Amino acid sequence: MNHDDVIIVGSGPAGAMAARELAVAGLKVRLLEQGGAPPAAVPGLWRLWRRREMLHIAPGVALLRGVRVGGGSSAFFHTAIAPPPGLFARYGVNLTPHIQAVLDEIPHAPLRPALVGAGAAALAAAARQLGLSWAPLPKMIDQTRCQGTHCPPEALWSAAGLLAGAVAGGAVLETGSPVRRVRIAAGRAQGVEMDDGRFLPAGRVVLAAGGIGTPALLRRSGVAGAGEGFFCDPLRIVMARAPFPPEAAQPHPMTGGAIDTEAGYMLSDIALPTPLFRTFALGACRPDMVTQARRTMMVMVKIRDDIAGEVRADGSAWRHFSAADKGRMRAGVAQARALLAQAGGGRPF
Same domain, 242 and 313: yes
Question: Would 235 be classed as within a structural domain?
Answer: yes
Per-residue pLDDT at 2: 66
Same domain, 149 and 255: yes
Residue 252 reports pLDDT greater than 70: yes
CA distances from 268 to 79, 108, 245, 331, 342 (A): 11, 17, 21, 15, 15
Q: For 148-156, which contacts have Cβ atoms below 8 Å and span 24 or more sequence positions?
A: 148/114, 149/114, 149/115, 149/248, 149/249, 150/249, 151/115, 151/252, 156/78
Same domain, 23 and 121: no
CA 89 to chain centre: 24
31: three-class secondary structure by DSSP: strand
310: three-class secondary structure by DSSP: strand
Distance separating alpha carbons of residues 147 and 151, to the nearest angstrom: 6
Q: Which of 226, 245, 278 is the last residue of a domain?
A: 226
CATH assignment of the domain containing 168: 3.50.50.60
Q: Which of 226, 249, 268 is the last residue of a domain?
A: 226
Same domain, 11 and 126: no
Same domain, 267 and 320: yes
Per-residue pLDDT at 307: 96
What pLDDT, in 10s, does the model give residues 8-41?
Answer: 999 999 999 999 999 999 999 999 999 999 887 7
Same domain, 128 and 276: yes
Residue 1 reports pLDDT greater than 60: no
Q: Which of 182, 201, 226 is the last residue of a domain?
A: 226
Same domain, 189 and 176: yes
Question: Would 216 be classed as within a structural domain?
Answer: yes
Containing structural domain, residue 291: 109-154+230-342
Residues 192 and 202 sit within 8 Å (Cβ to Cβ): yes
Instruction: Return the axis-axis angle of helices 118-129 and 323-342, rounded to nearest 10°.
Output: 100
What pLDDT, in 10s, does the model give residues 266-303?
Answer: 999 999 988 889 888 888 889 999 999 999 999 999 99
What pLDDT, in 10s, does the model give residues 132-176?
Answer: 999 999 999 999 999 988 899 999 999 999 999 999 999 999 999
Distance separating alpha carbons of residues 297 and 301, to the nearest angstrom: 13
What pLDDT, in 10s, does the model give residues 49-75?
Answer: 888 899 999 998 999 999 999 999 998
